[in-house]
Amino acid sequence: MKNIYKILLSVAVVITAIDISSAQTYSIIPNDTINMTGIMEDMETLSIQQLNISNGILTLAWQKVSENIPLNWETNVCDNVICYASLINGGTMNPVSPGDYGFLLVHVTPHVNYGTGTIRYAVWDVAFPLIKDTLTYILTVNAPTGVIQDKNITQLSLYPNPADESISFYN
């Protein structure tokens, strides 16, 4: 009797594992992390897409995991429904047809502040809420380094100065 119990338990574990592994209904494009270098005052768009690889309609939900943003950076999040005014805590996308994309993107404007910002959101198929992916958006804006002077500057002389009809260059 004990052996039959072990066999049934093993079969149940295998069936559960097969159900969980076949439950992934989307793939992440390009991958789960996007890392960019930005420029002060430029708005950067960091986008990660979710391709519906199932045969049915897919509804994706998302929730903020964390944010670490330098002071005075403007940030907001968009999904395939709407762009929000800030990094809101979560939402649900419009349904995604087979072969189509959902997306979760982050807009960041660093203004005149440099640093590195990291934003993480979890995304999942509402039909399989225990299988979540964490999307990571990283933007780095470097501090200005000043003006680099060229040591091979050629000096030119113009004459006559002032000129009437023509000038000559002398190197």
Q: Kindly state the tokens that stand for 133.
A: 């992916």
What pLDDT does residue 100 have?
Answer: 95
Check residue 39 and give its pLDDT.
87
Q: What is the pTM of this model?
A: 0.72
In this prediction, residue 69 has a pLDDT band, given cuts at 50, 70 and 90, of: very high
**Over residues 87-101, mean pLDDT:** 95
Distance in angstroms (rounded) separating the CA atoms of residues 42 and 16: 48
Please identify which residue in the block is written with the tokens 């390009």: 30
**What does the pLDDT read at residue 105?**
93
Token look-up 């004459």 returns 159
* Integer Cα distance of 143 and 112 in angstroms: 9
Range ranked top by mean pLDDT from 6-15, 78-87, 147-156: 78-87
pLDDT digits (tens, 9 = 90+) for 98-134: 999 999 999 999 998 899 999 999 999 999 999 999 9
Q: Do strands 101-109 and 44-52 pair parallel, antiparallel, or not at all (unpaired)?
A: antiparallel
In the prediction, which pLDDT does 40 show?
A: 86
DSSP single-letter state for residue 44? E
**What distance in Å separates the CA atoms of residue 57 and residue 97, rounded to the nearest whole number?**
5
Question: Which run of H or E residues covers position 4?
Answer: helix 2-21
pLDDT at 13 over 60: no
Task: Return the pLDDT at 96.
Answer: 95
The whole-angstrom separation of Cα 125 and Cα 23 is 9
Q: What is the model's pLDDT at position 94?
A: 94
Instruction: Give the confidence band of 42 by pLDDT, cuts at 50, 70, 90.
Output: confident
Percent of the chain with pLDDT over 90: 62
What DSSP letter does each residue of 56-123 carry, written as one string? S-B-EEEEEEEEE--TT-EEEEEESS-B-SS--SEEEPPPB-TT-EEEEEEEEE-TT--EEEEEEEEE
